[in-house]
Structure 1
């Protein structure tokens, strides 16, 4: 699995792009939302010097059908609104991803986190390239296979090898002793250890247990 954070330029036609351009120092945080037919219901937070002005700009935008300010305090306002602009959800459907909240918007750009497979990440980049949208990969905080680099059996054998001192220098446990402790023959223990070591090395160097260095 991959955990990544993207920063993507909003299309000018999206309502939040217009409002964030009008208030470039404000931060918009989409806390939750879902689409129902031709509209989307969303819960959003605004952080700004004068959040009431930003909320009023949201309420008066043609794409906003309804807007309620739920909470307001110095520099922050929480709003619930309905919008006819569902481009964000259509974009997500094209990339076959789910929305991970919160989604942050600042000065015409939005940032979001993605957790998925390498194939899903590649598909997202294809969608962005075909849409001619400017984007940045801000971080790639983790990369591993969905079930880890090791099979259950490999993990079991390697954990026993570490526990018994098979990898210590000098060795505190012979292969024959480890195999006997596991209840397998020596050749089986040797094969499982070699394959597990190979998968760990490839995973560490390439991010995939089956990867190759280019």
Structure 2
């Protein structure tokens, strides 16, 4: 993983977004490939012994069917539905999938949630110093795990960090009138322009707005 175009510094921060194929032996790979049009979001997860305690969300045309496939999977236990409607289900459960986090823990970097899973692949964000970022890349290389680096932003200010994708989403949403009152376009139209699904567009815009508002409030103080 190369970052030679950036000059190292003590306060340097790198924020990156990765896409990585899931190991076929994980239950979430099996479920997500069985329902390739569904979006699974791991909202939080904590490895405990040989299992993981997780809060996960399903978004699909028939979210109930996907949630049922998760609940009845042999590697999932103690499934409890927290919220459900026809297109969205949130559940709390235990799962045998510590391998999903091991490569992050091995590089001393906790996972950043939510982790997005679609059709056997996961996307996640990583914020690290240059040294931590390079160590993470070395861990991936040593394990022979293929990945795509979707975006990378280098900054010396943690509070003003916006990824290129976040900036693009905000720009498109603003240009099309998504923030107008009343709105001049729908989230689906913004997502279509960006070439992503609505859940991805919504999450990216939410993260970007949160950072912009947070910086504004910080500056005001």
Deviation of residue 69 (structure 1)?
1.4
Q: Please give the residue correspondences for 1:148-187 in structure 2 after superposition, counting only pairs within 5 Å.
A: none
Q: Deviations along 1:40-91, whole A, 9 cap, x unmatched?
A: 1100000001111111111111111221111111311111110122112322
Mapped partners of 1:76, 1:17: distance in 2: 19
- CA–CA separation in structure 1 for the residues paired with 2:153 and 2:84: 34
Counterpart secondary structure, 2:61: coil
The answer to whether the Cα contact below 8 Å between 1:11 and 1:133 also exists between their aligned partners in 2 is no
Separation of aligned partners in 2, 1:13 and 1:38: 15
Counterpart Cα distance in 1 of 2:129 and 2:71: 38
Contact kept in structure 1, 2:41 and 2:117, CA below 8 Å: yes
Residue 71 in 1 paired to residue 83 in 2?
A: yes
1:34 to 30, 46, 71: 46
- For the Cα contact (< 8 Å) 1:41–1:81, is it kept in 2? yes
**2:170 alignment counterpart:** none
Give 1:45's match in structure 2, choosing from 35, 54, 57. 57
Counterpart position of 1:114: 126
- Is the 8 Å Cα contact of residues 64 and 85 (structure 2) preserved in structure 1? no
Paired position in structure 2 for 1:2? 14
Question: Which structure has the larger Rg?
Answer: 1
Is the 8 Å Cα contact of residues 103 and 140 (structure 2) preserved in structure 1? no
Task: Report the equivalent of 2:101.
Answer: 89
> Gapped runs of 5+ residues in structure 1?
147-214
Q: What's the TM-score, normalizing by structure 2?
A: 0.63
CA distance in 2, matches of 1:112, 1:6: 6
The corresponding residue for 1:159 is none
Does the 8 A contact of 2:76 with 2:93 survive in 1? yes
The question of whether the paired residues in 1 share the 8 Å contact of 2:64 and 2:86 is answered with no
- Alpha-carbon RMSD: 1.9
| SS of corresponding position for 1:99 | coil
What's the TM-score, normalizing by structure 1?
Answer: 0.65
